[in-house]
């Protein structure tokens, strides 16, 4: 969503950091370009004016212009300004769910992703906070709305249940029944998924107000579609006038809109953004963090989100099995297939690269090397075309076997050779780690183009499953890509 804005700001900052000294005129010209970039990104005009005013006050000063690295100083000031625009580093984004059953009321227009978001937040609370959650649909008008929520509850896991559907009941009656069921069932959290409309009307707001009086929710979250731009901001403002909202959830943040709604929302409404939704899957939900989002917009990556995604996919049993093999210096094609599958679960190659610092250059390198998630799927297909014995002992793969595997996977023999080369490089790293322990791991990573300083930056050595660290990454070559995958570091 922020790609266009990131590219524009990156170009502006490249011009600043490439100079040894900055004049006040240079900074003013850069701020003028930043102003245009924000307006083109559909950020509300009053928000842009306030942002530029605050940044200019700090950036056009003797301390910045005379500093050793004035360009970097300006970037930091812009970063801090973005953080403030998004609510500040200490904004309260956690849900208040202390006294069970805590009621969370979901509001929003039809088509904003309200029901799906209800399921996503419920799954997150059940999985991460071990909460027992009950979902109740109050939408008696939209066809199959109640059935949709029941299906989402089944998909969210055993700690998430849906209120049984009773035909003919009105929203107020369903609310009272849900409150009773939550108390009797010992649920920690009750979600009330209210009905939406294609536009705000008096009947919808009156119904929502009545439900709020009955349920007395701890949180009233408005779900807004980020693709609607400034309309989403106006919707939030009008809802807040009639209903005491406590937070916002922006959906479709992986879309191709310009991102202005996300940047304007907090400043215009005064409400904290709690979550950002991406995709239709139940795990497509990120907790909002102003500093991390500002870092992404400025192309500085978001390592914390990457670690969280890796942690979500973490499998204790597989990790222990992998650790034993690492100690023996073993790494077969079954292990490589596991790594590729975990990369897909973490958002694919593009999703992972987007969270790393310098993502723009890495994505450009991927594009020039014709690398995308389809390549990962082809590599999985190649491994799936092998026999169990071949996956366990890659040394068996002679020319005739490689030709058979290529035909089975629908790829060329060269593609099979590239995959085997990548596996060999990863296997060599495993052997070094197995022989030398931590020292061997550091030497292996250094040989793959990853310095100890890089490791320290990337979460102080945090181990990432899915081939993203902890001795499981073949390293990034000079072009920012893994070796064996589009021209990375060669042996």
Q: Do the annotations mark residue 113 as ligand-binding?
A: yes
Q: Which residues pair with 162 in a beta bridge?
A: 135
Q: Do the annotations mark residue 469 as ligand-binding?
A: no
Q: Do the annotations mark residue 387 as ligand-binding?
A: no
Q: What angle do CA 118, 121, 122 make, to 5 degrees?
A: 80
| H or E stretch at 188 | none
Cβ-contact 305, 288 below 8 angstroms: no
Cβ-contact 47, 11 below 8 angstroms: no
**Closest by CA position to 5, among listed 58, 43, 57, 56:** 43
Q: Do the annotations mark residue 196 as ligand-binding?
A: yes
Q: Do the annotations mark residue 111 as ligand-binding?
A: yes
**Closest by CA position to 79, among listed 13, 19, 1:** 13
Q: Do the annotations mark residue 108 as ligand-binding?
A: yes
Q: Do the annotations mark residue 90 as ligand-binding?
A: no
Q: Do the annotations mark residue 254 as ligand-binding?
A: yes
Cβ-contact 12, 37 below 8 angstroms: yes
Cβ-contact 1, 257 below 8 angstroms: yes
Q: Do the annotations mark residue 117 as ligand-binding?
A: no
Helix, coil or strand: residue 27: helix
- Rounded Cα–Cα distance for residues 364 and 353 (Å): 11
Q: Do the annotations mark residue 7 as ligand-binding?
A: no
DSSP of 311-345: HHT--HHHHHHHHHHHHHT---HHHHHHHHHHHHH
End-to-end CA distance of the chain: 37
Q: Do the annotations mark residue 195 as ligand-binding?
A: yes
Q: Do the annotations mark residue 110 as ligand-binding?
A: yes
Which residues are known binding-site members for GTP?
108-115, 193-197, 251-254
Binding residues: 108-115, 193-197, 251-254
């Amino acid at each position: 969503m922020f790609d266009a804005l990131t590219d524009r700001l990156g170009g502006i900052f490249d011009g600043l950091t490439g100079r040894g000294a900055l004049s006040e005129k240079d900074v003013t010209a850069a701020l003028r370009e930043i102003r245009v970039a924000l307006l083109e990104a559909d950020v509300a005009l009053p928000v842009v004016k306030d942002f530029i005013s605050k940044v200019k006050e700090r950036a056009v000063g003797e301390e910045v212009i005379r500093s050793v690295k004035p360009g970097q100083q300006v970037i930091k000031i812009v970063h801090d300004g973005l953080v403030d625009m998004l609510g500040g580093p200490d904004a309260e984004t956690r849900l208040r769910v202390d006294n069970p059953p805590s009621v969370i009321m979901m509001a929003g227009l039809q088509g904003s992703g309200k029901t799906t978001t209800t399921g996503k937040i419920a799954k997150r609370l059940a999985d991460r906070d071990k909460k027992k959650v009950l979902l109740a649909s109050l939408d008696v008008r939209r066809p199959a709305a109640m059935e949709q929520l029941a299906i989402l509850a089944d998909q969210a896991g055993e700690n998430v249940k849906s209120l049984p559907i009773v035909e003919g009941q009105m929203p107020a009656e369903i609310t009272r029944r849900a409150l009773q069921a939550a108390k009797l069932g010992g649920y920690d959290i009750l979600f009330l998924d209210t009905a939406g409309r294609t536009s705000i009307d008096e009947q919808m707001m009156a119904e929502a107000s009545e439900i709020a009086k009955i349920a007395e929710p701890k949180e009233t979250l408005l779900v807004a579609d980020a693709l609607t731009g400034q309309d989403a901001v106006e919707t939030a403002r009008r809802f807040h006038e009639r209903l005491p909202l406590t937070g916002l959830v922006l959906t479709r943040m992986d879309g191709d809109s310009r991102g202005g709604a996300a940047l304007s929302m907090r400043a215009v409404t005064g409400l904290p953004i709690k979550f950002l939704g991406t995709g239709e899957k139940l795990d497509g939900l990120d907790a909002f963090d102003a500093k991390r989002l500002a870092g992404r917009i400025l192309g500085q990556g978001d390592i914390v989100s990457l670690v969280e995604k890796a942690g979500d996919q973490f499998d204790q049993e597989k990790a222990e099995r992998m650790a034993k093999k690492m100690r023996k210096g073993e790494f077969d094609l079954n292990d490589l297939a596991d790594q590729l599958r975990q990369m897909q679960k973490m958002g694919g190659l593009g999703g992972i690269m987007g969270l790393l610092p310098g993502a723009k250059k890495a994505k450009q390198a991927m594009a020039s090397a014709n690398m995308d998630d389809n390549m990962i799927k082809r590599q999985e297909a190649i491994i799936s075309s092998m026999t169990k014995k071949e996956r366990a002992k890659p040394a068996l793969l002679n020319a005739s076997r490689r030709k058979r595997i290529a035909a089975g996977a629908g790829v060329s023999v060269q593609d099979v050779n590239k995959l085997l080369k990548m596996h060999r490089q990863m296997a060599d790293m495993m052997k070094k780690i197995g022989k030398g322990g931590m020292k061997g791991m550091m030497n292996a990573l250094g040989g793959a183009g990853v310095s100890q300083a890089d490791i320290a930056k990337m979460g102080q050595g945090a181990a990432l499953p899915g081939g993203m660290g902890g001795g499981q990454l073949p390293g990034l070559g000079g072009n920012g890509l893994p070796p064996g995958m589009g021209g990375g570091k060669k042996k």
